[in-house]
């Protein structure tokens, strides 16, 4: 774990610690602020569909969670691949190829991905087959998201109620947390 001296000393001055939410100093109280720990994925950032920039809505090189299966397939079929590979029988480069980066991220069939990579490197598979399998894997990944989104959007009043209730719960937690912070800093006005 990486800790900066500033955040550690600030947390200790506020009556807490930087590593856990266990009772501080044996007093049975909870730390007022707990350092959040990162939840990381295997991929720091996916490249855009154009292959040379980050994925960005303003650049138009994205796949949206709201895209239909047909839209996803059209976008995948236009994805950038190996520019040196002009025919399917020419060996291609897998490393740095966004199509294979997406396969690694979204295709759960590792054996299929490994087979595609091997055949791509030896010039025994075309871009169309590789991209079609990627579109299928992406759509399988996105289908449950699309279904939930459609169900939520079908009941807009229920969505508003959920947001309102969630806001109410978050507000109650924030009030409690800020009370602990003020107590720890000894700035409680009572």
In this structure, the answer to whether residues 136 and 122 fall within a common structural domain is: yes
Residue 41: its pLDDT value, please?
84
Phi, psi (5° rounding) for residue 15? 90, 15
pLDDT tens-digit readout, 124-171: 999 999 999 999 999 999 999 999 999 999 999 998 999 999 999 999
d(CA 139, CA 159): 25
d(CA 89, CA 83): 14
Residue 78: its pLDDT value, please?
95
Mean pLDDT comparison of 19-23, 57-61, 129-133, 174-178, highest-scoring range: 129-133
How many Cβ atoms from other residues are within 10 Å of residue 55's Cβ? 15
In this structure, the answer to whether residues 117 and 32 fall within a common structural domain is: no
Are 49 and 62 in contact by the 8 Å Cβ rule? The answer is yes
Question: How many domains are contained in the chain?
Answer: 2
In this structure, the answer to whether residues 63 and 144 fall within a common structural domain is: yes
Nearest-10 Cα torsion for 51, 57, 63, 65: 150
Q: Which residue range forms the structural domain that includes residue 19?
A: 5-40+156-185
Residue 16: its pLDDT value, please?
46
């Amino acid at each position: 774990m990486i800790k900066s001296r500033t955040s550690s000393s600030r947390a200790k001055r506020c009556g807490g610690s930087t590593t856990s939410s266990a009772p501080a100093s044996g007093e049975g109280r909870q730390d007022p602020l707990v350092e959040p720990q990162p939840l990381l994925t295997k991929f720091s950032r996916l490249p855009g569909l154009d292959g040379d920039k980050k994925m960005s809505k303003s650049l138009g090189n994205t796949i949206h969670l709201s895209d239909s299966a047909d839209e996803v397939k059209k976008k995948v079929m236009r994805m950038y691949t190996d520019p040196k590979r002009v025919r399917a029988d020419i060996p291609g480069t897998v490393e740095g190829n966004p199509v294979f980066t997406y396969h690694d991220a979204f295709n759960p069939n590792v054996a299929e991905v490994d087979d595609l990579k091997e055949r791509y490197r030896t010039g025994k598979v075309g871009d169309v087959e590789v991209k079609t399998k990627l579109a299928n894997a992406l759509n399988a990944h996105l289908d449950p998201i699309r279904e939930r989104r459609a169900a939520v959007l079908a009941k807009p009043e229920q969505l508003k109620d959920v947001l309102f209730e969630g806001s109410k719960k978050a507000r109650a937690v924030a009030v409690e947390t800020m009370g602990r912070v003020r107590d720890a800093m000894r700035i409680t006005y009572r």
